[in-house]
Amino acid sequence: MNRELLRTLLRTEGPTLSMALLLGLAGGAVFGSPLGGLCVALAGLVVVHMVHAVRLLQWQLSPKQHELPDGHGLWAVIYDGALARHRQSRRRKKRLAAILKEFRASTGALPDAAVVLDSADRISWFNHAAVALLNLQSSRDIGQRVANLLRHPRFQAYLDSVDEEYRGIEMPGLNEAEQTLWLRLIPYGRQQRLLIARDITDRKRIEQMRRDFVSNASHELRTPLTVVSGYLEMMVAEARAGDEGLAPWAEPISEMQRQAVRMESIIADMLKLARLEAAGRISEREPISMARLLRDALKEAEALSDGRHAISAQIDESLGLAGQSSELQSIVGNLLSNAVRYTPEGGRIDVRWAREGEARVLEVVDTGIGITPRDLPRLTERFYRADIARSRETGGTGLGLAIVKHAVERHGGQLEIDSTPGRGSRFRCRFPAAPRPPGVHEAVTKAS
């Protein structure tokens, strides 16, 4: 027992106990039974303590209906301590209530819907925006499982299989036919999750307008460019044949033809990227022999290298992938051609196709010039070039990695980029063993 507590007990109850025992002995001696008097005194003390305990219990159960008596001795100390703790608890509750009120007011002002889910995905609380975006009603939906209210298959799958790789999902809105919502689940606390929903209809509309513009402009540019290319090809042939008027212009005409070919490549890549962005996730898949696809791509890479690089491959012949052949060819072709273009003569390029756990991984590693940490996060942006002069020199379009990123995401995978300037780069395409629910993924980039 704590010494201070023992001293308090002796100070408050010692005199009372001593007096009760003396009175009991004295009264018992008068009647010829000191021991009986002592027992009566002790019983009286027990009754007094029981009365005080009952009063304390009544006050704790309903402090508004009962008041604590003043008490004396040890019970005065107990009453004062209980009352002090009660007042402290009330002040703490008031502070917490004020914080909660401020939190609800701030979240209520947010344009995004916020829904608190418990460990069983039941709705504990939601803000005003959730009423408008998700059609929730406080009197009816508190305590309901969120899966019973948001019945879209994409959300159901996301709710069951969400992991830290997910950045969120997109799904049709509940109020308007053309509305698009972005939803994300954030774990917190003790197996609780916060569901955030945002209306991205305007952003999707702008993205669609941009894609339509790029697609339409590319189609419109193709026809005049084809005509120009045809005339340039004819002029190059005549200049090489010794035409007196065109012979002095042979080199400029050849350069014009090379730039026209490069423009055709850019337009083709723009159209391919526009199709990938508009198509969304793959709905129809076919079994692809990745070993055969990689062997064909390696032959093209070796032809492009023309013996200037050491190219090796480790391919799991038995490991296939369900997807679309043309897009997988674009992924492999762009990664290998970039490795050849940005690796100096005498460098090494290694290709690996293997299983890692449940995932399928395509890896292309080179000993090229590498990428700086500043350029790495923007590498998959359209027309972004880490080395503009070298890109133009090697004939790159600036769209290859953007195509790779979108094609990988179309297959439910993720593009990871790791690079060290002056030492080389590693590009990893991680594909799931089975198609996962559609999510918004981003390229993961690292720099050493």
Whole-number pLDDT of residue 8 = 65
> Rounded CA gap, 169 and 184, in Å?
7
- Give the number of other Cβ atoms within 10 Å of residue 153's Cβ: 9
- What is the pLDDT of the chain when averaged over all its residues? 79
- In which band, very low, low, confident or very high, does the pLDDT at 296 lie, cut at 50, 70 and 90? very high
Q: Which two tokens stand for residue 81?
A: 């301590």
Query: Are residues 382 and 397 in contact, defined by beta-carbon separation less than 8 angstroms?
Result: no
Inform me whether the pLDDT recorded for 220 exceeds 60.
Answer: yes
Average pLDDT, stretch 111-125?
Answer: 87
Q: Phi and psi for 416 in degrees, rounded to 5?
A: -120, 135
Average pLDDT, stretch 47-59?
Answer: 76
Q: What is the pTM of this model?
A: 0.56
Helix (H/G/I), strand (E/B), else coil: 126: strand
Domains delineated in the chain: 3-103 (no CATH), 110-199 (3.30.450.20), 203-279 (1.10.287), 284-448 (3.30.565.10)
Q: What tens digit of pLDDT does each residue of 327-361 get?
A: 899 999 989 998 998 899 999 999 999 998 888 99
For 411-441, b/e burial (b = at least 16 CB within 10 A) is bbbbbbbbbebeebbbbbbbbeeeebbbbeb
Whole-number pLDDT of residue 443 = 43
> Rounded CA gap, 128 and 110, in Å?
8
Which whole-number Å values give the CA distances from 420 to 80, 93, 303, 368, in the listed order?
Answer: 69, 55, 27, 9
Inform me whether the pLDDT recorded for 2 exceeds 70.
Answer: no
Which residue is it, tokens 């002796």? 10
Query: Are residues 339 and 333 in contact, defined by beta-carbon separation less than 8 angstroms?
Result: no
Q: Which two tokens stand for residue 177?
A: 């036919």
Measured at the CA of 375, the angle between CA 369 and CA 381, to 5 degrees, comes to: 115
Whole-number pLDDT of residue 292 = 92
> Rounded CA gap, 87 and 79, in Å?
12
Whole-number pLDDT of residue 437 = 44
Q: Which residues pair with 351 in a beta bridge?
A: 313, 364
> Rounded CA gap, 429 and 417, in Å?
9
420: closest CA among 383, 378, 366?
366
Which one-letter DSSP state was computed for residue 121? S
The residue ranking higher by pLDDT, 139 or 365, is 365
The residue ranking higher by pLDDT, 202 or 71, is 202
- In which band, very low, low, confident or very high, does the pLDDT at 365 lie, cut at 50, 70 and 90? very high
**What radius of gyration, in Å, describes the C-alpha atoms of the chain?**
39
Average pLDDT, stretch 236-262?
Answer: 80
Average pLDDT, stretch 285-302?
Answer: 90
Q: Which two tokens stand for residue 425?
A: 């780069």
Amino acid present at 426: R
> Rounded CA gap, 374 and 409, in Å?
24
> Rounded CA gap, 316 and 351, in Å?
11
Inform me whether the pLDDT recorded for 46 exceeds 70.
Answer: yes
SS3 content of the chain, % helix, strand, coil (to 5): 55, 20, 30
Inform me whether the pLDDT recorded for 398 exceeds 80.
Answer: no
Q: Which two tokens stand for residue 20?
A: 């009760």
> Rounded CA gap, 331 and 41, in Å?
95
Inform me whether the pLDDT recorded for 16 exceeds 80.
Answer: no
Whole-number pLDDT of residue 308 = 92
> Rounded CA gap, 394 and 379, in Å?
17
Whole-number pLDDT of residue 430 = 92
Whole-number pLDDT of residue 435 = 53
Whole-number pLDDT of residue 386 = 62
Query: Are residues 335 and 300 in contact, defined by beta-carbon separation less than 8 angstroms?
Result: no
Candidate ranges 152-166, 173-187, 199-213, 416-430; pick with highest mean pLDDT = 416-430
Average pLDDT, stretch 148-160?
Answer: 85
